[in-house]
Amino acid sequence: MPTIVFASPKGGAGKSTSAVILASELARKGAAVVLIDADPNRPVTAWARRPGKPESLEVVADVTEDTVIDEIEAAAARVPFVIVDLEGTASMTVAYAISRADLVLIPSQGSQLDAAEAAKAIRLIRQQEKAFARRIPHAVLFTRTSAAIRPRTLQHIRGEFETHGVPALETQMHEREAYRAVFSFGGTVDNLNASQVSGLEGAIRNARAFAAEVVALLRQAQAREAVA
**Rounded to an integer, what distance in angstroms lies between the CA atom of residue 179 and that of residue 115?**
23
Give me the pLDDT at residue 10, please. 74
Give me the pLDDT at residue 128, please. 94
Report residue 171: phi and psi, to 5°: -75, 135
124-144 pLDDT, tens per residue? 999 999 999 999 999 999 998
Q: Which helix (H) or strand (E) holds 117?
A: helix 112-132
**Cβ neighbours of residue 67 closer than 8 Å, sequence gap 6 or more:** none
- Is 178:189 a contact under the CB 8 Å cutoff? yes
167-178 pLDDT, tens per residue? 999 999 999 999
**Rounded to an integer, what distance in angstroms lies between the CA atom of residue 125 and that of residue 122?**
5
Sign of the Cα pseudo-torsion (170, 157, 24, 222, in order): positive
Closest CA to 198 of 221, 171, 175: 175
Distance of CA 143 to CAs 85, 165, 174, Å?
Answer: 15, 20, 6
Give me the pLDDT at residue 57, please. 98
Q: Which residues pair with 128 in a beta bridge?
A: none
The residue ranges of the chain whose pLDDT is under 70 are 90, 148-149, 227-228
Give me the pLDDT at residue 228, please. 62
**Rounded to an integer, what distance in angstroms lies between the CA atom of residue 36 and that of residue 226?**
27
Domains and CATH numbers, the chain: 3-227 (3.40.50.300)
**Rounded to an integer, what distance in angstroms lies between the CA atom of residue 4 and that of residue 8?**
13
Give me the pLDDT at residue 71, please. 96
| Through-space distance between the first and last CA atoms of the chain, rounded to whole angstroms | 18
Q: State the pTM of this model.
A: 0.93
Closest CA to 61 of 49, 50, 52, 53: 49
Give me the pLDDT at residue 8, please. 86
Give me the pLDDT at residue 212, please. 97
**Rounded to an integer, what distance in angstroms lies between the CA atom of residue 102 and that of residue 76?**
11
